[in-house]
Amino acid sequence: MAIQTRNKLNVGFSMASMSDVVFLLLIFFMLTSTLIAPNAIKLLLPSSNSKTMAKQTFTVYINDQYQYFVEESTVEELQLVAALMTKLQHEDEATVVLRADKTVPVQYIVTVIDAINEVNQKTDKKHKVILATSPKK
């Protein structure tokens, strides 16, 4: 007499829980990617056809209210050289990206370039400034 078991093992794999996990991960990444702001300071950049790619060290912003920002911290015009000096103290040949709103007068841009040149003279180094632009449409 053969003994039969009442409980049969199901060897099939259910993909329902795996699709739930993938769907939840997809929603998570979609939500977190929209929270990331590449430019914390909103600017309308001037447009240009030229493309210059360089390894940037940090960014200086000038917004439409003519305020200076080194990264995301506000800096007064008189403290601009000191702020740039502290950012560039461990760099030999840094590239500073200048993102200025297109309504900003040229004098404010020249002020940042002069500040970098003053840092270069004081530290005897060769830091560069690149003006960021948006592509022409």
* Inside any domain, residue 20: no
**SS3 at position 28:** helix
For 1-137, list the strands marked E by DSSP: 47-48, 58-62, 68-70, 73-75, 95-100, 128-131, 134-135
| pTM score of the predicted model | 0.64
pLDDT digits (tens, 9 = 90+) for 97-130: 898 888 999 899 999 999 999 988 988 888 888 8
| Two structure tokens written together for 92 | 């030999």
* Inside any domain, residue 98: yes
pLDDT digits (tens, 9 = 90+) for 90-105: 888 888 889 888 899 9
Range(s) of the domain holding residue 59: 47-135
**SS3 at position 13:** coil
* Inside any domain, residue 9: no
* Inside any domain, residue 41: no
Number of domains comprising the chain: 1
